[in-house]
Amino acid sequence: RVATAPDPTLLVRRKAALGGELSPLFYREPLQVVRAEGPWIYTADGRRYLDAYNNVPVVGHTHPAVVQAISRQAAVLNLNSRYLHSNVVELAERLVASMPDGLDTCVFANSGSEANDLAWRMARVVTGRGGAIVADLAYHGVSEATAAFSTNTYPASARPAHVAVFEAPRDPRDDGPVAIARVGAARADLQRAGHDPALLAVDSVFSGAGILTPRDDFMRGLQDATRAAGGLFLADEVQAGFGRGGRNLWRFQDFGLTPDFVTLGKPMGNGHPVAALITRREIAQAFSEVDEYFSTFGGNPVSCVAALTVLDVIEQTGLVAHSGAVGAELRAGLEALVPELPVRGQGLMLGVELPDAAGFAERLRAHGVLVGTTGPGGGVLKIRPPLIWTSVEVDRFLIAFQQALG
């Protein structure tokens, strides 16, 4: 069923059937969306909006190559992942080849949450320990384990004793020794609760903390201190990955990290649900000696061809370098418009700290541009468009931004 016309009953029915506050929508008057293409989202009332928020359609909404690949494969075969199929093997090989040496094993899942959850299960089995260290205002998923790692959403009063928190690098001067000290403090918190660290998980864009730009040595300090404490290091690339940083396919590469686990999701299938955990063979093997992992849909032939096509498009169009160049243009434009406000981030993942970010996002919407908000109290504008933006979209965005400033 393809919706085309406004349905005035939809909002009330949604609230009734989806639990109101359990399933909030963006904007005071939510958008009734019907169609999208490239950088544009079209609504039932016939308007179109420039998408400056959605990272999932990384190669642009409804990219024809991805749509065609999914449709073709769906018309031929889709079934559970216990059968041999070339798409699945090819995708695993491509992902592993894109990682640093040693990260040679790929496990498929349907969501970033599941990939992180599996990393946590493996880390516990392999280290024989039960403690986790995460950043403040982080988000890592919806499962019981990963929700407890999600310090941005999970009530601190309910945080289990096996989860300790380090402070995100808010100060651009936060360096390696600062990171090592913060991991040391979190480790001491764990030890007081009778735990040792099995895993430190980090989203290197620190999206929930308001989009930060950490120093390389801060990130390396996190990794080195985790290893020195006997734990494993997880680079959560669910949000940061697939070229958004504009330098490498994976954001952790920018810092020279060599994680034990890398998790991928959101943009991986350009909207089709698919996710992955990449790790070292000995970790996966040690896990499979005592436990089992099977996902019915994880890495099915349709999801895998969607992800293969996304990788093809990124490679063939040089999208990583492109997002770096367009991101630099966007940042320079923003810095010129609001020289007094801090602009943070890298590539096409930028945050602008604004006095009334939520109100500003509403005004931008009125001028035809969709953004998000994040950070403490939602005070940071989250700009995270599809990577196919060009100077044309940057200019449109900056014009709307100026109009919204009044």
Task: Please tell me the distance from the alpha carbon of residue 196 to that of residue 133, in angstroms, as a whole number.
Answer: 10
Residue 140 near ligand PMP by CB under 6 A: yes
Q: Pseudo-torsion of CA 170, 173, 175, 178, nearest 10°?
A: -60
Q: Which stretch binds ligand PMP (CB under 6 A): 74-82, 134-142, 179-187, 396-404?
A: 134-142
Token pair, residue 239, equals: 């949000």
Q: Cβ closer to ligand PMP: 130 or 265?
A: 265
Q: Which stretch binds ligand PMP (CB under 6 A): 118-126, 186-194, 231-239, 241-249?
A: 231-239
Contact 206, 135 (CB under 8 A): yes
Residue 238 near ligand PMP by CB under 6 A: yes
Least Å from the CB of residue 110 to ligand PMP: 8
Residue 269 near ligand PMP by CB under 6 A: no
Helix (H), strand (E) at residue 276: strand 275-279
Residue 117 near ligand PMP by CB under 6 A: no
CA dihedral over 124, 130, 135, 140, signed as positive or negative: positive
141: region left, alpha or beta (phi > 0 left; psi from -120 to 50 alpha): left
Residue 142 near ligand PMP by CB under 6 A: yes
Contact 129, 231 (CB under 8 A): yes
Among 39, 57, 60, 112, binds ligand PMP (CB under 6 A): 112
- Give SS3 for 136: coil
Contact string 62-101 vs ligand PMP (x = CB under 6 A): ----------------------------------------
- What letter would DSSP give residue 268? G
Residue 113 near ligand PMP by CB under 6 A: yes
Token pair, residue 389, equals: 């933006």
- Give SS3 for 383: strand
Q: Which stretch binds ligand PMP (CB under 6 A): 57-65, 137-145, 153-161, 211-219?
A: 137-145
Contact 154, 269 (CB under 8 A): no
Among 108, 139, 242, 287, binds ligand PMP (CB under 6 A): 139
Residue 111 near ligand PMP by CB under 6 A: yes
Q: Cβ closer to ligand PMP: 226 or 263?
A: 263
**Residues within the interface to ligand PMP (CB under 6 A):** 111-113, 116, 139-142, 203, 207, 236, 238-239, 265-266
